[in-house]
Structure formats: structure tokens, C-alpha cells
Amino acid sequence: GNDDPICETEKNASSGYFVLLGFSNWPHLELVLFVVILMFYLMTLIGNLFIIFLSYLDSHLHTPMYFFLSNLSFLDLCYTTSSIPQLLINLWGPEKTISYAGCMIQLYFVLALGTAECVLLVVMSYDRYAAVCRPLHYTVLMHPRFCHLLAVASWVSGFTTSALHSSFTFWVPLCGHHQVDHFFCEVPALLRLSCVDTHANELTLMVMSSIFVIIPLILILSSYGAIAQTALRMQSTTGLQKVFGTCGAHLMVVSLFFIPIMCIYLQPPSGNSQDQGKFIALFYTVVTPSLNPLIYTLRNKDVKGAVKRLMRWDREM
């Protein structure tokens, strides 16, 4: 018949389209997913913009920690926006296509922003390490120019790595049918479409993932190991509470981001079940970025103080 999805895709392949299958196996779930994802996306936008504006407007928050947190919020905004609006359009309407160029751009940005976030989380854990373990040298260690350099390094590392990686993925010749069994263009899903042996690509993926996932994770955990040792030696309970408050929040964000990513990228593309992969990916593209602002701002005295000052300033205007 003419409505056969494979026939449709054959036509699309010749005209430079991909079909993002997404959650089409569960048509009854699509409306529910649309509503839930839209809510999370709006939460991500509001929460992260709130952190960016607050850190910018309140001079008390002009510290390295909030500078990096604003960078993380901006990264998260871009990261969700690189895949979620497309997913919402696909869930809402019958059209599930993305152009070849669109797919390349999406793959590039998702990889770049994901990698940059891995590096930025390391930078943030170093900042906490310097604050807790080297308090006397903190202002010298985390000099504003050095902070800017670290932030730029995070972004640059993400965008250069992604340039190499996505071009390497798009060199792989793809077979006739262009059905991507995912809700966005990501490396493992695209490698499944190739007509040639993709062992070299899979190996690159594993190596890159190890460099940008395992090494950051080791660095982050060693930072927090040192912080925990210092904290346990502290005499005052308030100091201890403050350390565990800030660092607990950071560790929570780290685990919400790294655990799902490890589930997907640290095993060969042929290994994991696709459907399970989609739900895991949904977690780190939708849920994690919306929770970050909440995790960092709830129970946070600095942020509460900044909000109060902002309210007072508004009333005085």
C-alpha cells in the first residue's frame, strides 16, 4: 500500500530526510508524553533562566560558583532545546521527519553540549574543592580571569570534540532506509543505519565516551573524596552542614547526568535495547536539566537572600 512506512522512507531517503521513529511503537503514549515533556521543558526554561538572571543581577552572587552555575544553566537550556522542540513537534503531529542537514546539526549540538557539560561539571567540582580544601588560597586559585578561561575551555572542548565525532559519524555510508529508531539524531542510533562495518566508529565512540565520561567522573569523585576528608575534620557542625549542602547538591546533579549517559554510551550500540535507550535518553535530555535549578536553589541561603533582595528592590522601584 501507499501508506507503508518503509515506502515512505524510501522516498524520504532519496530527498534527504530521516524519519525519527521516536515513540511511535506506543501511539497511545504519545499524547501523555507530549504533555509531560512540555511541562518539563517549560520547567527547564523557567528554572535555568531564573538562575542566569539572578546570578547576573545580584552582586552577592558574583562568585565563581554562581558564574559556573550560570554556565551550566545556559548549557542545559541549549542542550534541551537542541532535541526537545523537535520531539514535541513529532509527538504532536503525524510528520516524524527531520532533514539530513537538520539531523547533522542536531547531532553536532547534542554531542557538543553534552561533552561541554561533562567538562563543566569537573570544573565545578574543582571550584568546590578549592573552596573547602584551600579556603585561604581560594581567591587566588579561582581568579575571575582563570574562571573565565575554565568556562571557555569547557565550551571549546565540547564543540571541537563534537566536530570530529559528528563528521566521523556522517562519513559512514547509510543504507536505503533512513529510519532512525530514536527521538533525536544520536550516534548509536545513526550507526545502526549503516551498510558497512561500523567497528571503527563504535570503537571511537567508546574511546571518546571514556575520555569525556570516565575521566571526568574520576576527577569529580576524587575532588569530593578530598572535600569529604576535609569536612570530617571540621570542628563546627554549621561548616559541615554547609559543605554537605552545597556538595550534596552538586553530587546529585553529577549522578543524574552521568549515570544515564553511562548506561547508553559505555556499551556497544548493538548491545542495549532501543526502547530502553529512548527512555534513558529522555531522562538526561528532559528530566535532569529541569531538576538542576531545583537541586541547586532549594535550601540554598544565597539564592533565598538574592530573591529577597530582588523583591525589596522591586518594591522600592
Report which of 239, 299, 316, 305 is spatially closest to residue 60, judged by C-alpha positions.
305
Q: What is the pLDDT of residue 272?
A: 54
Give pLDDT, residue 271.
Answer: 52
Question: In the sheet that 179-180 helps form, which strands lie side by side, from edge to edge?
Answer: 97-99, 17-20, 179-180
Residue 9 in contact with residue 179, Cβ under 8 Å?
A: yes
Contact 43, 290 (CB under 8 A): yes
Distance of alpha carbon 216 from alpha carbon 156, whole angstroms: 16
pLDDT of res. 74: 97
Scanning the structure block, which residue is given the C-alpha cell 532501543? 274
Burial bucket for residue 280 (CB in 10 Å: 0-12, 13-18, 19+): middle
Q: Does domain 97-297 have CATH number 3.30.1490.110?
A: no
- Distances from the Cα of 66 to the Cαs of 229, 262, 297, in angstroms? 24, 27, 11
Closest CA to 22 of 87, 93, 82, 79: 87
Residue 105: what pLDDT?
94
What is the rounded distance in angstroms from the CA atom of residue 84 to the CA atom of residue 22?
12
In the chain, domain spans: 97-297
With beta carbons less than 8 A apart as the criterion, state whether 119 and 71 touch.
no
As a whole number of angstroms, the distance between CA 303 and CA 35 comes to 30
Residues lower than pLDDT 50 in the chain: 1-14
Nearest residue to 280 via CA among 266, 292, 293, 294 = 266
